[in-house]
Amino acid sequence: MISIKINGQIKELDVDPSTPLLWVVRENIELTGSKFGCGLGLCGACTMHMDGVPIRSCITPIAAVGDKEITTIEGIGNLNDGLHPVQQAWIDEQVPQCGYCQSGQIMTAIALLKSNASPSDEEIDKAMNGNICRCGTYGRIKKGIKKASELAIINNLKISENG
Amino acid sequence: MGKWKRRAFISAGILAGGAVIVGVAIRPGNRASKVKNIIGNDEDAVFNVWLKISPDNTVTAIIPHAEMGQGVHTSLAMMLAEELDADWSLVKFEEAPAHKQYANYTLIDGFIIGEKKIPSLLQGTLDGAFLALTKKMDFQITGGSASVRFTGVKGMQLAGAATKSMLKEAAAKEWNVNVDEIKTEKSILSHPGTNRSAKYAEFAHAAAKLSMPGKPKLKAITEYTLMGTSPSRFDLPVKVDGSAKYGIDAAPPGLKYATVKASPVFGAKLKTADTSVAEGMQGVQKIVVLENAVAVIADGYWQAKQALAKINIEFESTENDQINQKSIFDTYGSILDEVAEGKNRKKDYKSGDIETAYSNANKLIEAEYKVPYLAHATMEPMNCTIWFREGKCDVWTGSQNPLGFRGAVAETLKINDDQVFIHNQFLGGGFGRRAENDVSIQAAMIAKDVNYPVKLIWSREEDIRQDVYREATISRFKAALDINGMPTAYSNQYLIKHHPAEASQIPYEINNKSVYYADGKTHIPWGNWRSVDHTVHGFTTESFIDELAHASGKDGYEFRQSLLQNNPAYLKVLDLAAEKANWNSELPKNWGRGIALQKSFGTIVAEVAEVEIIDNEIKVHRVVCAADPGFAVHPDGFIAQIESGVIYGLTAALYGEINIENGAVVQSNFHDYQILRMSETPKIETYIINSGTAIGGGGEPGTPPIAPAVANAIFNAIGVRVRELPLKKADLKQKEVIG
């Protein structure tokens, strides 16, 4: 049995230790917000946080998680209990198109804003460059990040996993 | 069924009766009763296939198109709500089930007839014929940028207007007043003279019993209050918290997972598969050997993938094993040599006397252009979940053509269509790929002998290597310039024509034109790729026109202007793009602007790209787009689609290349099939012209002009004419000194 802490809960799992975190989360824990895109850590659709740091869950074996805490898009905020400022900014700026890559984009954006409350264009480019969007929503993602940054500064909030 | 079809056919004719417009939704005795059981509760009054009004006064738009990012659920609902005078805050949507009642024959109308006016007397007959045709073809397609321009205009707006008219009539009867005195606003009927008002829902049942008006009056553009605004899209909230369900997220009880490896050489059959090691691996449920592929069903995707890797597969060798990219282009070159001699060619279009014009030319220009195969690479890899038990089959997938998938799965499983239930999910990108039914057929083959649900997921490698591809092709041009540098003759000879038929046409006034094409059959499967043939011809024709401009010593923008004097709609779009891009302003050394113009799917788009060449690298800084879609129903959504089309086209222009080696695709994942990233994304500005002509598409028209705009900008920056895509292969460094 492998035990992991995910979105504040402990899960006991009977899985092969080499199984990538992505598949355990999607199939065993049944949280499907994190997406499969490439399987090689090239596109960022599977991005989750491990102790607050963005990781590519499609190439992270479950055995490598240990006692570190995993956060997925479902742990950030939701429509019923309230959206995270970054999620709200994504709606305000009408960012998604097909939406498939957006969980990964949002997780990467939150990690950026946690460490840099007011990033420049270049800093946003650098942080987001590992996340592919095939619909080409990059311009709006950038606006969404700036909007979230403004919202946080106006409301004197510090961006974290919990909003 | 036969009787119903005849009745629909005849009633359409009577209804039309000289009217210019006929829609599926406005036939009396039409589909309402048939579809009632599928989409409505007993208390809902279903007016027709496109909308229902519930007792709580909400209006639900039933939309027969898949949501793949284009915001179609929102814009089609807006078109209905506008004509209905519905309260937008009470408007909801449902995606239509894959049922033949939704066969999308307005799409066929748009594609087969194009934008020509149909003679009013023939209207009913033609629509009847289309209905029969599309029923046969099982059409319910989302593609061709067709949703708004066909379903929206011919279905949703008419349905909204017709329903409003019936509601007013019902209220007038009950209140015993003149129908013209009834006002409608925000889903409320009112009669100011007698100070009465009622919610739409109160008259819904009475109205549903009335016959539908044959010719409902549509609003003028100046009367719109909702269309032309940009309300928040319906589909976005679920796309920011991970709750949106895509095909790959389907989770019926007892689900198992499968993955597959098919023959890398298209069409080759399986020879042997040694499954001995894989069979004993943990979690493996079943190994399925198909004619051209091997699949593993396991408890999880990872286990299936690991086991598949342990199967030693050999495929039969075929004559295609020797084919590579060079041999394909060599063959194409030989075919075009024959076309030049008048052999094996097909006429695309022709006007004037080209030979005389050539012999009188002051200057002749010739050039050959080449474009590669392209894969779709949707973010969501191909997948399909099949649950086949007790003679019926449930299917979960994201499809641009759910009715087509239904038929294909039914045929594969040898059951009736009505025993297949398609649960269409959000599409993680479509771009044409998800109109193909190959994956659903393969999934059905894999899952047909087990009684539990199986989710087939393709690896990214399989997704890139088993795609249907944008055609690789060659275009050979020749043009004559007169003594003033104006073109007097133009010819283009190219390979392979799919559609739209007009994609190879140019809008410029040149008296003598001759365009021929030839077939070029390979074993590489073809598929619709965002804007289809326009992606080829946009690049080749708009680059060549730019060559003519420079050969005549003129600026690319002014040259185009001079050839569009009798084509004001194009000229207006071209001028707006140039103006907004400050076309004549100075740029630093090694910077350049390029312009390109292409009408596709009913929308004229001009783009100006601003690029910088740094060493051998191309940096696209800014793209200015001007677009005339007739009328942008949801301007922000339209702009988003143009931006998307530019990025999709720019990825292809700069990097996109699928190569064939030993009969198979070389590329496999995002490391060798490179996708544009945020840091490479230009600033994009989009300006809309609402000219009031027939509404054009949004999903595709942004794509064709970007490759030539960038290639023309490279020429203006450093004097190098790039005639082959992708641009990353061009040698820009050595010639920099010339520029």
Tens of pLDDT, residue by residue over B210-224, are 766 656 788 999 999
Same domain, yes or no: B405 and B521: no
Contacts of B176 (CB under 8 A, 6+ apart): none
Quote the pLDDT of residue B6. 22
For position A132, what pLDDT does the model report?
98
Asked if A73's CB is within 8 angstroms of B303's CB, the reply is no
Give the CATH class of A85-154: mainly alpha
Question: Residue range B262-283: average pLDDT?
Answer: 97
The CA distance from B714 to B95, in Å, is 45
Number of domains in chain B: 3
Rounded average pLDDT over B505-514: 97
Neighbouring residues of B89: CB distance < 8 A, sequence distance ≥ 6: none
Residue B218 CA to its chain's centroid (Å): 27
Minimal Cα–Cα distance from B610 to chain A, Å? 17
Contact residues for B502 (Cβ-Cβ < 8 A; gap 6+): B114
Q: List CB contacts (< 8 A) between B237 and chain A.
A: 79, 91
Q: Does the beta-carbon distance from B241 to A74 stay under 8 Å?
A: yes
CB atoms within 10 A of CB B691: 16
What is the reported pLDDT for B58? Answer: 87
CB spacing of B301 vs A102 below 8 angstroms = no
User: Mean pLDDT score of chain B, rounded to an integer?
Assistant: 86
Q: Which residue from A minimizes the CA distance to B455?
A: A27
Across the interface, do A32 and B429 touch by the CB < 8 Å criterion? Answer: no
The shortest CB-CB distance from A135 to any of B230, B233, B429 is to B429
Q: Cα(B663)–Cα(B268) distance, rounded to whole angstroms?
A: 10
Nearest-by-Cβ selection for B240 from A15, A36, A87: A87
State whether B177 and B197 are in the same domain: yes
How far apart CA B647 and CA B245 sit, in angstroms, is 25
**Would the CB atoms of B648 and A136 count as touching at under 8 Å?**
yes
DSSP three-state, residue B244: coil
**Rounded distance, CA B601 to CA B604, Å?**
8
Q: What is the pLDDT of residue A154?
A: 85
pLDDT given for residue B23 in this prediction: 32
Judged by CB atoms closer than 8 Å, whether chains meet at A134 and B429 is answered as yes
Q: Measured between alpha carbons, how far is A19 from B299 in angstroms, rounded to an integer?
A: 12
Q: How many CA atoms lie within 13 A of B606 on its CB side?
A: 28
* Size of chain A in residues: 163
- Tell whether B709 and B631 lie within a shared domain: yes
Tell me, yes or no, if A25 comes closer than 8 A to chain B by beta carbon: no
- Looking at residue B41, its pLDDT comes to 41
Compute the distance between CA of residue B629 and CA of residue B180 in angstroms, rounded to an integer.
33
Return all residues near B161 (Cβ < 8 A) that are at least 6 apart: B83, B84, B216, B217, B218, B219
One domain for residues B573 and B601: yes
B135: Cα within 13 Å, side-chain hemisphere:
11
Q: How many CA atoms lie within 13 A of B485 on its CB side?
A: 16
Contacts of B712 (CB under 8 A, 6+ apart): B542, B543, B546, B556, B594, B595, B596, B609
- For the segment B124-139, the average pLDDT, to the nearest whole number, is 37
Amino acid at the residue B38: I
pLDDT digits (tens, 9 = 90+) for B461-493: 999 999 999 999 999 999 999 999 999 999 999
Which backbone phi and psi does B636 adopt, to 5 degrees?
-65, -40
Which candidate from A74, A95, A124 shows the least CB-CB separation from B242? Answer: A74
Sheet bearing B346-351, strands edge to edge: B346-351, B512-518, B487-495, B473-481, B363-371
What pLDDT is attached to residue B54? 80
Within a domain: B242: no
- List, for residues B620-668, the tens digit of each pLDDT value: 999 999 999 999 999 999 999 999 999 999 999 999 999 999 999 999 9
Q: Which residues of B touch A32 (CB under 8 A)?
A: 242, 245, 248-249, 251
**How much is the pLDDT for B96?**
62
> Would you call A83 an interface residue with chain B, using a CB distance cutoff of 8 Å?
yes
B677/A138 CB distance under 8 A = yes
User: How far away is chain B from the Cα of A137, in angstroms, using its nearest Cα?
Assistant: 7
Residues of chain A with Cβ-Cβ distance to B684 below 8 Å are 139
Rg (CA), chain A: 15
DSSP string, B688-735: E----SS---SSSTTSTTHHHHHHHHHHHHHS----BS-GGGS--STT
Count Cβ neighbours within 10 Å for each residue of A66-95 and write b for 16 or more, e otherwise. Answer: eeebbbbbbbbbbeeeebbbbbbbbbbbbb
Which chain B residues have a beta carbon less than 8 Å from that of A137? Answer: 640, 643-644
* Predicted pLDDT of residue B156: 78
Residues 96..135 of A with a Cβ closer than 8 Å to B: which? 96-103, 106, 124-126, 128-135
* E strand or H helix at B2: helix B2-16
Q: What are B564's two structure tokens?
A: 């569009």
Do residues B291 and B364 share a domain? no
Q: Report the chain A residue with the minimal C-alpha distance to residue B683.
A: A139
- B142-151 per-position pLDDT tens digit: 555 556 666 6
User: How far apart are the CA of B243 and the nearest CA of chain A, in angstroms?
Assistant: 6
Considering CB atoms only, which of A97, A102, A136 is closest to B240? A102
Residue of B581 and B129 predicted with greater confidence: B581
**Does B409 share its domain with B483?**
no
> Do B434 and B311 fall into the same domain?
yes
Cβ contact A125–B679 (<8 Å): yes
Residue spans of chain A under pLDDT 50: none
Tell me the nearest-neighbour CA distance from B302 into chain A, angstroms: 7
* B63 and B199 part of one domain: yes
CATH 3.40.50.970 fits A2-75, yes or no: no
Closest-CA residue of B relative to A22 is: B302
Distance (Å, whole) CA A38 – CA B44: 45
Q: Nearest chain B residue to A142 by CA: give it.
A: B678
Residue that finishes a domain, picked among B392, B425, B457: B457
In-domain check, residue B103: yes
Residues of chain B with pLDDT > 70, as a percent, come to 83
- What is the number of CB-based contacts under 8 A between chain A and chain B? 185
pLDDT at residue B5 above 60? no
A49 touches chain B (CB under 8 A): no
For residue B395, give the CATH number of its domain: 3.30.365.10
Looking at the partner chain, which of A36, A77, A139 has a beta carbon nearest the beta carbon of B643?
A: A139
In chain A, alpha helices (H): 21-23, 85-92, 102-115, 121-128, 138-154
- Domain range for B332 is 327-373+469-738
Q: Which residue of B has its CA nearest to A59?
A: B302
Q: Where are the domains of chain A?
A: 2-75, 85-154
CB B279 within 8 A of CB B285: no
**Pick from B70, B460, B678: which is nearest to A125 by CB?**
B678
Lowest mean pLDDT among A11-15, B130-134, B344-348, B574-578: B130-134
Are the Cβ atoms of B239 and A102 closer than 8 angstroms? yes
Compute φ and ψ for B313, nearest 5 degrees: -110, 135
Q: Which of B239, B670, B676 sits opposite A96 (nearest CB)?
A: B239
State CA B730 to chain mean position distance.
30
Nearest to B531 by CA among B645, B400, B674: B645
Structure tokens at B266: 């298209």
pLDDT in tens, B312-351: 999 999 999 999 999 999 999 999 999 999 999 999 999 9
- Those residues with Cβ within 8 angstroms of residue B287's Cβ, 6 or more apart along the chain or in another chain: B273, B275, B278, B279, B294, B295, B296, B297, B307, B311
Residues B389 and B366 placed together within one structural domain of the fold: no
The residue from B177, B198, B227 where one domain ends is: B227
Residues of B in contact with A140 (CB under 8 A): 640, 643
Q: Which of A30, A76, A99 sits opposite B239 (nearest CB)?
A: A99
**B643 chain-A contacts, CB cut-off 8 A:** 136-137, 139-140
Burial of residue B300, with CB atoms counted within 10 A of its CB: 0-12 exposed, 13-18 middle, 19 or more buried: buried
When pLDDT is averaged across residues B406-423 and rounded to a whole number, the result is 92
Confidence class of residue B39 from pLDDT cuts 50, 70 and 90?
A: very low
Domain end: B402, B425, B457, which one?
Answer: B457
Interface test mutation site (partner A, options B142, B678, B686, max chain A beta carbons within 10 A): B678
Looking at chain B, which residue has its C-alpha nearest residue A76?
Answer: B241
Residue B494: beta bridge partners?
B475, B517
The answer to whether the CB atoms of A139 and B246 lie below 8 A apart is no
- Put simply, the answer to whether A36 touches B70 (Cβ < 8 Å) is no
The order of strands in the sheet holding B454-457 is B284-289, B293-298, B256-262, B454-457, B383-389, B392-397, B420-424
Task: Evaluate whether residue B63 is within a structural domain.
Answer: yes
Nearest CB to A138; choose among B257, B426, B681: B681
Q: How far is CA B32 from CA A38, B45, B52, B458, B460, in A?
A: 45, 9, 10, 40, 43
Alpha carbon of B190: minimum distance to chain A alpha carbons (Å): 35
Are residues B473 and B575 located together in one domain of the fold?
Answer: yes
pLDDT at B65 (0 to 100): 67
Residue type, A66: G
Q: Is this complex scored with an ipTM above 0.85?
A: yes
Provide the 10 A C-beta neighbour count for residue B313: 18
Exposure string for B484-513, b = 16+ CB within 10 A, e = fewer:
ebbbbbbbbbbbbbeebeebbbbbbebebb
Where is B538: in which H helix or E strand? helix B533-551
A75 touches chain B (CB under 8 A): no
User: Do residues B368 and B386 share a domain?
Assistant: no
The reply to whether A34 touches chain B by the CB within 8 Å rule is yes
- Are residues A77 and B244, on separate chains, in Cβ contact within 8 Å? no
d(CA B105, CA B155): 10
Q: Given this model, what pLDDT does residue B240 score? A: 98
- Chain B residues with CB under 8 Å of A31 CB are 242
CA distance B696 to B630: 6
CB–CB contact B381 A37 (8 Å):
yes
Tell me: do B440 and B513 sit in the same domain: no
- The reply to whether B234 falls in a domain is no
| Angle, CA A97 vertex, CA A94 and CA A98 arms, to 5° | 145
CA distance A154 to chain B (A): 22
If one compares B301 and B21, the residue with the highest pLDDT of the two is B301
CA-CA-CA-CA dihedral for B167, B170, B176, B182, to nearest 10: 10
The answer to whether the CB atoms of A30 and B251 lie below 8 A apart is yes
Q: Do A94 and B233 touch (CB under 8 A)?
A: yes
A6 inside 8 A of chain B by CB: no
For residue B689 the two structure tokens come to 């012209």
Q: Do B678 and A142 touch (CB under 8 A)?
A: yes
